Amino acid sequence: MTMQSNYFNLSFKNPVIAASGTFGFGQEYKAYYNPSILGGISAKGITLEARRGNSGIRITETAGGIMNSIGLENPGVESFLADELQQMSTIDTVKIANLGGSTLETYIEGAKLIEEHNKKVKANASTLLHTAVDLVELNISCPNVKEGGIAFGITCEGAEKVVREVRKVLSVPMAVKLSPNAENIVNVAKTCEYEGADGISLINTFSALKIDIKKRRPVFDNVYAGLSGPAIKPIALKMVREVAKAVKVPVIGMGGITTAEDAIEFIMAGAHLIQFGTASFINPYAGKDIVEGIEAFMKEENIKSLDEIRGII
Amino acid sequence: MTMQSNYFNLSFKNPVIAASGTFGFGQEYKAYYNPSILGGISAKGITLEARRGNSGIRITETAGGIMNSIGLENPGVESFLADELQQMSTIDTVKIANLGGSTLETYIEGAKLIEEHNKKVKANASTLLHTAVDLVELNISCPNVKEGGIAFGITCEGAEKVVREVRKVLSVPMAVKLSPNAENIVNVAKTCEYEGADGISLINTFSALKIDIKKRRPVFDNVYAGLSGPAIKPIALKMVREVAKAVKVPVIGMGGITTAEDAIEFIMAGAHLIQFGTASFINPYAGKDIVEGIEAFMKEENIKSLDEIRGII
Amino acid sequence: MYKIISNQQIGNDFYIMAIEGSFEANPGQFYMLRGIGSFMTLSRPISVFDVGKDKIAFMYRVVGEGTKYFSKLKEGDEITLYGPYGNGYPVSDYKDKKVALIGGGMGIAPLFYLAKQLDNAEIHLGLNSRDLTAEQKQYLGQLYATHAPTTIHIDTDMSEKLDFSKYDAVMTCGPEIMMYKLTKKHENVYVSLEKHMGCAVGACLSCTCDVAGKRVKVCKDGPVFKGSEVSYDDAIKLL
Amino acid sequence: MYKIISNQQIGNDFYIMAIEGSFEANPGQFYMLRGIGSFMTLSRPISVFDVGKDKIAFMYRVVGEGTKYFSKLKEGDEITLYGPYGNGYPVSDYKDKKVALIGGGMGIAPLFYLAKQLDNAEIHLGLNSRDLTAEQKQYLGQLYATHAPTTIHIDTDMSEKLDFSKYDAVMTCGPEIMMYKLTKKHENVYVSLEKHMGCAVGACLSCTCDVAGKRVKVCKDGPVFKGSEVSYDDAIKLL
Ligand SMILES: Cc1cc2nc3c(=O)[nH]c(=O)nc-3n(C[C@H](O)[C@H](O)[C@H](O)COP(=O)(O)OP(=O)(O)OC[C@H]3O[C@@H](n4cnc5c(N)ncnc54)[C@H](O)[C@@H]3O)c2cc1C
Ligand SMILES: Cc1cc2nc3c(=O)[nH]c(=O)nc-3n(C[C@H](O)[C@H](O)[C@H](O)COP(=O)(O)OP(=O)(O)OC[C@H]3O[C@@H](n4cnc5c(N)ncnc54)[C@H](O)[C@@H]3O)c2cc1C
Ligand SMILES: Cc1cc2nc3c(=O)[nH]c(=O)nc-3n(C[C@H](O)[C@H](O)[C@H](O)COP(=O)(O)O)c2cc1C
Ligand SMILES: Cc1cc2nc3c(=O)[nH]c(=O)nc-3n(C[C@H](O)[C@H](O)[C@H](O)COP(=O)(O)O)c2cc1C
Ligand code: FES
Ligand code: FES
């Protein structure tokens, strides 16, 4: 029995990946478990330039979910590559850089920096920076930054442009992370695949609204914020199934996964790998519980490889 | 202080309407409260021909929501007009017929029957059938019937066709009920308005999936089913705000409203009327609680008319 | 909201919960039970197990999230319930007639209160060997025997075991396949159907099925129906 | 999961909950409390009120759904908590120094345990006239007075009331506007910031703000910061 699998020319010890923005840069949940037990870690979304993120309240609870409006607070690509990524080297897992942008140019420039960094690391040119980015998760789906990002994820035209241009400068394996707000997520996925994406990652948060009726204003300064967590799981699962049926590249499924049972639903719907995000806020041991729970389920049901159940729905 | 308002040339004693498919034909919750206290009742969705609905499990719980796959079980338009609608006459409220269809023709034929029925009632031609349909809610958004319905709600082209043709035969006031699965719900709303809809009603349920991992099959025979309830409220609220800003006709907002506070959020987001659906399953007194809660809020906040807070977000 | 008097574990996953309050219900009717405010979106249909002065009792089995939540409630905790819903067994028609009450698995729940209301009932409890220890079965047998002669059948098909000619009616609750088979054995079999439910008042059509050639709502028109009139599509699929 | 020892209502919406278990925490640190399995998606940050042998206590005010849920818990019920998180007040630096502990509203919560750890503290409780009756205030005053001399200020701006020159440090928790004003009164003011939180471990960036010109995480780098280094953007907006 094994949970191990290979995608993107990378070996994943199991299909369980920490979702971007919910697991910091891999160190933060160490008090609960060793992050090396995870199949991968998608670091907090980075952009070419550092960002302070959004003002006001940044997180709140909704029925079965949460809304966040972090607004891609991050140290910028360069600082990430030199600092946080290097710290991640102590973690024995697949290291994923989640790259966002506001304009086509910032995506391209960000991707170039990652490409250069990886080249240097591979050539041993730099003695200080020894950790490479294993996989880029191209984030065209953040609903919390006004300037864009998500603009590229709504339509096929948007996705086509950014994936094509980034692909030109990036030889590092790349999955594109899609938004449930896409007009037609299946078509966007197919477009990304056509333009050279090595995989599809979905879903990011839903654009959503909460109003403070006493104060008569939105809870979030940015008006809308991103909905995630168990509440969205049934919708995410449907989208993952449809995309998995439509593309040939590996699919990284997520949206409300909090237990091993949830993860298995996504795998049965066709996901090759899965991510857990909000789950860590509900239960800081979530990653560990999901990995162990999948293993237990495989034993119980006598499943030798997850390929046996992948996409059977 | 008044909750009364006029839309569609109809007087609503308050903005609280029971949502189609969750309140039967108005009689079912009488053990809990008199349905005449409601602003309106949208009867179970009807189609030209009677339908038996879907096989298998038809309802299940999800985190903060429910999924249903009723599949528009209904007695057919004619039977509805002759029977259930007439029984509704004892209820002093706005009576809404929720009309679905599988093809353009069935929509048109269904609408014609309603038009004729109303003409007869108005002309006092029929002595037995004395209750008219006050408002038609054109359902182009049911995710649970394979043949269509929702097909018309996904794209502007679909909506354009059906609204235009139905409008030609229907002089009864008509709101079009939109799907959150629409590629661009704002554009669909604008299209409906342009084609003569008197109002927009949103949202219907989200197409979603739940898998029984032990049985290795979807929970629902129809694979996908519709997600509703508190879980979807933040997404629904956002959509209602965007549509309300984009159209001039009245907007009937819904999706996860279970309390008066929820209803007020929708009104602040621009809804003229609101509907509660899943709420009745959580709390059979929901309709009453919402009506009374809005009144209490208006008193507390010294609001004379809901127009004062409508669309302020 | 009502107060819980007791919530006793009587088998692996079997519990009996007693709730304070004044209730009136017929055998075979059910209540919708729920907890934790609106966090749980659907209430759970549970048959009346027993009604007493100032209290009502339910027997339930933990199968998922909702019933697991019930099992954790303690004396003094609060629970919300609505009902009674539906129509029960035709008690008055068979008050002094000879009636076999046949339960399979958790289907034994409504039979306790049913036996109490009948003068001449015989109880057959079909329990499998996994759920309950020998002692627990004995305990249940004794409990039910306070109202009528009771036998316990382990892992057996009761439709093969009994001499049905001696009964005026058979009232049953359990797996559809069991009820289907019983329906073939006697003219007057009354079955209690189980469907996932949303509203329990006939408003949502989650629970419809065909009985006597008509669409009926299990929550409102049932859950008890004359077995011979039920269309066993699902059960027959399993044969 | 831990067992609740008691959950005492001490004012209109004020409660003190004691929980069984062995805990170690510094004054000013906080725990993330949660209930009902995964129904509640976010845990609630609550400061340590007191730590004893085999128990910990929290003082909280009911403001919304989460704290309302806490208020309904009874002795023997279970609760989940994670922590302690963050850094507390600089107790060791001021162990025997003269320190004013100033709390406003629910900000009084961390001061109880803080006073316990300081040799020479003075407690000033700022309470408004709505929340607590005279008796309840007296009760609270007496409670806090077990660790240090305590005064209660009703509806007053404490930054105007006290002679700050006599203290080596001021440790405070309460409305930002209050803490901001105090910061102007003394060089060594330590404030405890409040932000909505997701993870409490520095992973989600829900709680960042500017301190000493750098982005910090309130959950991990705080919640206690040197007041003079905090950028009071929000508080200043309110002035
Ligand atoms: C009229 C009626 C009377 C019943 N009486 C009893 C009784 O006395 N004792 C008892 O233990 N059980 C009884 N049941 C079955 C009981 O309702 C289910 O076991 C229970 O709803 C399962 O809830 P769960 O959350 O634990 O399971 P989950 O599987 O997690 O539930 C998920 C959803 O499916 C629904 N569901 C799952 N199984 C069933 C089922 N068998 N029937 C209806 N809905 C289901 C749940 O209500 C819930 O909405 C009765 C059912 C009906 C329809
Ligand atoms: C470090 C820290 C220590 C705290 N210590 C205490 C304490 O000892 N006693 C006490 O009564 N309160 C304390 N609070 C505030 C307490 O966390 C909130 O009152 C509580 O989270 C409100 O939850 P709710 O569900 O009742 O309110 P709701 O308004 O319904 O909550 C909705 C969401 O907003 C969050 N939220 C709302 N208000 C606050 C707030 N003021 N701070 C942080 N998150 C908030 C909730 O956590 C929840 O996620 C502390 C806050 C922080 C950050
Ligand atoms: C607080 C928070 C921050 C997030 N930040 C990012 C981000 O930087 N980049 C990104 O691609 N997705 C981000 N996401 C989205 C998650 O990675 C994930 O796609 C989404 O939350 C759905 O999964 P979940 O329901 O398991 O949380 C963030 C989500 C949350 C809750
Ligand atoms: C059981 C069920 C049946 C429904 N049937 C219909 C229907 O016949 N026609 C329709 O337009 N919408 C139907 N709906 C959708 C609701 O009217 C409503 O749009 C949706 O549930 C969102 O609102 P809610 O979250 O308040 O339930 C149904 C919903 C449920 C839960
Ligand atoms: S449960 Fe709603 S109709 Fe029966
Ligand atoms: S709460 Fe997540 S970083 Fe502070």
Q: HEC profile for A25-43?
A: CCCCCCCCCCHHHCCEEEC
Note whether A40 and A273 are within 8 A (CB): yes
Instruction: Pick the closest to residue C171 from C95, C227, C109, C229 (CA basis).
Output: C227
D141 CA to middle of ligand 6, Å? Answer: 33
Residue among B67, B91, B132, B142 flagged as catalytic? B142
Considering only CA atoms, which residue is closest to atom 39 of ligand 2?
Answer: D196
Angle at B60 between CA B56 and CA B62, to 5 degrees: 145
Amino acid sitting at position C62:
V
Residues C78, C21: contact at Cβ < 8 Å?
A: no
pLDDT score at C4: 96
Distance CA B75, CA B72 (A): 10
Distance CA A242, CA B223 (A): 12
Residue of A nearest to D84 (CA): A31
Residue of A23, A28, A98 for testing the chain D interface, max D β-carbons within 10 Å: A28
- Taken in order of first residue, the domains within chain A and their CATH numbers are 5-309 (3.20.20.70)
Give the chain D residue nearest C39 (alpha carbons): D39
Give, as one character, the DSSP assignment of residue A241. Answer: H
**pLDDT at residue C128, as a whole number:** 82
A192 is catalytic: no
CA of A187, closest CA in chain D: separation in Å? 31
Q: Are C173 and C107 in contact (CB under 8 A)?
A: yes
- How high is the pLDDT of residue D235? 54
Q: What is the pLDDT along chain C (239 residues), one digit of tens a residue?
A: 899 999 999 988 899 999 999 999 999 999 999 977 667 899 999 999 999 999 999 999 999 989 999 999 999 999 999 999 999 999 999 999 999 999 998 999 999 999 999 999 999 998 887 778 888 888 888 999 899 888 888 877 777 778 889 999 999 999 988 899 999 999 999 999 999 999 999 999 999 999 998 999 999 999 999 999 998 875 555 54
Number of Cβ within a 10 Å radius of residue D164:
16
User: Would an 8 Å CB–CB cutoff place A264 in contact with chain B?
Assistant: yes
Q: CB neighbours of A281 closer than 8 A, spacing ≥ 6? A: A22, A66, D41, D42, D43, D198, D199, D204
Q: What beta strand segments (E) does chain A contain?
A: 5-7, 10-12, 16-18, 40-42, 59-62, 65-68, 94-99, 135-139, 174-177, 199-202, 206-209, 211-212, 217-218, 224-228, 251-253, 273-276
Pocket of ligand 5 (CB under 6 A): C 197-200, 202-207, 217, 219
Q: Kindly report the pTM of this predicted structure.
A: 0.96
Q: A216 Cβ partners below 8 Å, 6+ apart?
A: B268, B309, B312, B313
Considering only CA atoms, give the Rg of chain B: 18
What Rg, from alpha-carbon coordinates, does chain D have?
A: 17
pLDDT digits (tens, 9 = 90+) for A170-203: 999 999 999 999 999 999 999 999 999 999 999 9
Q: How many CA atoms lie within 13 A of D71 on its CB side?
A: 16
Return the ∠ at Cα C49 (arms to C46 and C53), rounded to 5°.
Answer: 120
Compute the nearest-CA separation of A128 from chain D (Å).
25
Q: What does the pLDDT average to over B284-298?
A: 98
Residues of chain A with Cβ-Cβ distance to B312 below 8 Å are 216
pLDDT tens digit sequence for B61-79: 999 999 999 999 999 999 9
As a whole number of angstroms, the distance between CA A148 and CA A139 comes to 11
- Residue A147 scores a pLDDT above 70: no
Question: How high does pLDDT run on average in chain A?
Answer: 95
The β-bridge relationship of strands A65-68 and A94-99 is unpaired
User: How far apart are the CA of D98 and the centre of ligand 1, in A?
Assistant: 63
Residue of D39, D74, D77 with shortest CB distance to C39:
D39
Q: What is the pLDDT of residue B289?
A: 98
pLDDT at B125: 67
Token representation of residue A304 = 């030798």
Q: What angle do CA B198, B203, B205 make, to 5 degrees?
A: 140
Question: Hey, is the C-beta of C67 within 8 angstroms of any chain B C-beta?
Answer: no
Out of C36, C76, C77, closest to residue D39 by CB: C36
Give ipTM to 2 decimals.
0.96
For A116-120, B35-39, B197-201, D233-237, which range has the lowest pLDDT when averaged over its residues? D233-237
Taking the centre of ligand 1 as the mean of its atom positions, its distance from the CA of residue C174, in whole angstroms, is 12
Sequence-separated (6 or more) residues with CB below 8 Å from residue B38: B13, B14, B16, B17, B18, B93, B287, B291
Q: In the prediction, which pLDDT does C154 show? A: 82
Residues of C in contact with B60 (CB under 8 A): 42, 196
Quick check: C201 contacting B, CB < 8 Å? yes
For C189, list phi and psi in degrees, rounded to 5: -105, 130
Tell me how far the alpha carbon of residue D44 lies from the centroid of ligand 2, in angstroms. 6
Span D31-53, average pLDDT: 90
Q: Is B14 annotated as a binding residue?
A: no
- Closest chain D residue by Cα to residue C78: D72
- Report the 10 Å Cβ neighbour count for B257: 29
Angstroms from B179 CA to nearest CA on chain C: 19
C68 has a chain D CB within 8 A of its CB: no
Cβ contacts of B265 on chain A, cutoff 8 Å? 210-211, 213
| Biggest CA pair distance of chain C | 50
Of the candidates C39, C74, C76, which has its C-beta nearest D36's C-beta?
C39
H helices of C98-207, where?
A: 111-117, 134-145, 158-161, 176-183
pLDDT at B149 over 80: no
Cα–Cα distance, A245 to C171 (Å, whole number): 49
More confident: D210 or C130 = D210
Q: Is B258 in the pocket of ligand 4 (CB under 6 A)?
A: no
D231: pLDDT confidence band, cut at 50, 70 and 90? confident
pLDDT exceeds cutoff 50 at A282: yes
Catalytic residue among A48, A136, A142, A237: A142
Contact assessment for residue D28 and residue D88, using Cβ atoms and an 8 Å cutoff: yes
Domains of chain D with CATH codes: 2-85 (2.40.30.10), 91-237 (3.40.50.80)
Average pLDDT over residues B47-58: 94
Nearest to residue D101, comparing CAs of D223, D190, D181? D190
Q: Determine what percent of chain B falls in helix, strand and coil, rounding each to the nearest 5.
A: 35, 20, 45
Closest Cα in chain D to A229? D41
A140 CA distance to ligand 5 centroid (A)? 43
Return d(Cα B206, Cα A280) in angstroms, integer: 26
Sign of CA dihedral B7, B10, B14, B16: negative
The pLDDT confidence band at residue D60, using thresholds 50, 70 and 90, is very high
Q: Could you tell me which of A218, A199, A200 has the C-alpha nearest to residue A208?
A: A218
B89 is in an annotated binding site: no
> What pLDDT score was predicted for residue C207?
96
Helical axes A233-246 vs A260-268, angle rounded to 10°: 30
Q: 3-state DSSP call for residue D97?
A: coil
Mutate which: A150, A179, A238, vs B, most B CBs within 10 A: A238
Cβ separation of D41 and A73 shorter than 8 Å?
A: no
Q: Which chains touch A (3 or more CB pairs under 8 A)?
A: B, D
Find the Cα–Cα–Cα–Cα dihedral B116, B121, B122, B127, rounded to 10°. Answer: 140
